[in-house]
């Protein structure tokens, strides 16, 4: 049970995950202070004006892999300097940090992937997250900042940017046109955003925890399987094809080992892939 007296600062509260997380925590009667772009740039925003908070959930970042290849400097600047600014706030105010990292494992050496798997920044976005994690670990080890690094795999849900896979498919479904995707083969570990919010809630509750935690579903589905799930839910045949376009350094399969967070917090995913997609369709229709 989450402590109802908990006061949490959430950066990046206007983003896809941020919106859902704030809503989830408010339902749990947590006192939430949302930080959005309206308050200023996270890289130089004076956070010390936000007094008497117990924990910070740091979500503010740049997070689209193709865009990171186009503008790597902006990704390194925002994701590193923003994290440094938040760490200084945590250090000065004795506040615990819960940091939203990313999938930072590169090409898997084995599946499922646990937290001890080697990490690798194979694109500018991922590298910026690896460097931010190193900064957090330094502040934790040498400057006394209590921290948890969360490594989400593929989060999906309502209001996600259409540049991501599931919203791309959903957008084409709405137009009732043949689904076109780059490739049908890649498999990903997908987790509904509400399950992700519940995982973060459990980490907040267990405020003695530190270190790194994977958050995913523990299973993977291909692009083709996702389309077929939509077909089953809608009870209609969906035409689809692939363009045979591969992204640089494409990873073909990803599965999260989530045994650590399950053991340490009692959290586990609630929605199956089909249930999550059904929920998404109900929300957008």
Q: What pLDDT is stored for residue 266 in this prediction?
A: 97
Domain membership flag for residue 173: no
Looking at the domain assignment, is residue 38 inside a domain? yes
- pLDDT the model gives residue 244: 83
User: Is 4 a residue whose pLDDT tops 90?
Assistant: no
Instruction: Place 248 in a pLDDT band, splitting at 50, 70 and 90.
Output: low
- 41 occurs within a structural domain: yes
Number of domains in the chain: 1
Which band of pLDDT confidence, cut at 50, 70 and 90, is reported for residue 251? confident
Average pLDDT over residues 209-233: 98
pLDDT, average across residues 257-265:
98
Q: Report the percentage of the chain scoring pLDDT > 90.
A: 90
Is position 147 within any domain?
Answer: yes
Given a cut of 90, whether residue 122 has pLDDT beyond it is no
Whole-prediction pTM:
0.95
Overall average pLDDT of the 93-110 stretch: 96
* CA separation for the pair 21, 96 (Å, rounded): 17
Residue 86 pLDDT: 98
Average pLDDT over residues 187-200: 98
Residues 33-57, mean pLDDT to the nearest whole number: 96
Residue 250 has pLDDT above 90, yes or no: no
Q: Is position 79 within any domain?
A: yes
In a domain, 27, yes or no: yes
Output the DSSP codes for the chain.
---TT-EEEEETTTSHHHHHHHHHHHHTT-EEEEE-GGG--TTT--GGGS-S-SEEEE--S---HHHHHH-HHHHHIIIIIHHHHHHHHHHHHT-EEEEE------S-SSSSB-TTSPP---SHHHHHHHHHHHHHHHHHHHS---EEEEEE-EEE-TT--TTSHHHHHHHHHHTT--EEES-S--EE-EEEHHHHHHHHHHHHH-TT--EEEEES-S--EEHHHHHHHHHHHHTS---EEE-----TT------B--HHHHHHH-----S-HHHHHHHHHHHH-
Q: Which residues contact 195 (CB under 8 A, 6 or more apart)?
A: 217, 269, 270, 271, 276
Mean pLDDT (whole number) for 28-43:
95
Q: What is the pLDDT of residue 12?
A: 97
Residues 6+ apart with CB under 8 A from 27: none
Q: DSSP labels for 69-106? A: HH-HHHHHIIIIIHHHHHHHHHHHHT-EEEEE------
Note the pLDDT of residue 25: 97
We report the CATH number of the domain holding residue 22 as 3.40.50.720
Report whether pLDDT(3) > 70: no
Mean local confidence (pLDDT), 236-254: 87
What average pLDDT does this structure show over 190-208? Answer: 97
What is residue 2's predicted lDDT score, i.e. its pLDDT? 64
Query: Is the residue at 233 inside a domain?
Result: no
The whole-chain average pLDDT of the chain stands at: 95
Tell me if 285 is assigned to some domain. no
* Domain carrying residue 114: 7-157+192-216+257-269
């Amino acid at each position: 049970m989450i402590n109802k007296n908990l006061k949490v600062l959430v950066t990046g509260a206007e983003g896809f995950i941020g919106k859902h997380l704030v809503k989830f925590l408010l339902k749990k009667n947590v006192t939430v202070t949302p930080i959005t772009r309206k308050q200023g740039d996270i890289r130089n925003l004076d956070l010390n004006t936000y007094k008497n908070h117990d924990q910070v959930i740091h979500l503010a970042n740049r997070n689209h892999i193709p865009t990171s290849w186009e503008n790597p400097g902006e990704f390194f600047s925002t994701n590193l300097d923003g994290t440094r600014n938040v760490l200084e706030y945590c250090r000065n105010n004795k506040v615990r940090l819960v940091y939203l990292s990313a999938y930072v494992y590169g090409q898997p050496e084995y599946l499922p992937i646990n937290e001890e798997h080697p990490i690798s920044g194979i694109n500018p976005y991922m590298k910026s997250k690896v460097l931010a994690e190193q900064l957090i670990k330094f502040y934790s080890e040498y400057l006394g900042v209590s921290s948890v690094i969360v490594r989400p795999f593929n989060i999906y849900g309502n209001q996600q940017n259409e540049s991501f896979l599931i919203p791309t498919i959903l957008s084409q479904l709405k137009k009732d046109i043949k689904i076109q995707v780059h490739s049908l083969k890649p498999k990903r570990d997908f987790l509904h955003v509400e399950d992700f919010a519940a995982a973060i809630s459990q980490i907040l509750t267990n405020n003695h925890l530190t270190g790194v935690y994977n958050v995913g579903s523990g299973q993977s589905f291909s692009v083709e399987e996702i389309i077929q799930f939509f077909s089953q839910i809608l009870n209609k045949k969906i035409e689809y094809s692939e363009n045979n376009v591969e992204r640089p350094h494409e990873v073909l399969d990803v599965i999260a080992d989530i045994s650590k967070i399950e053991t340490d917090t009692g959290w586990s995913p609630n929605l199956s892939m089909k249930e999550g997609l059904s929920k998404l369709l109900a929300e957008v229709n």
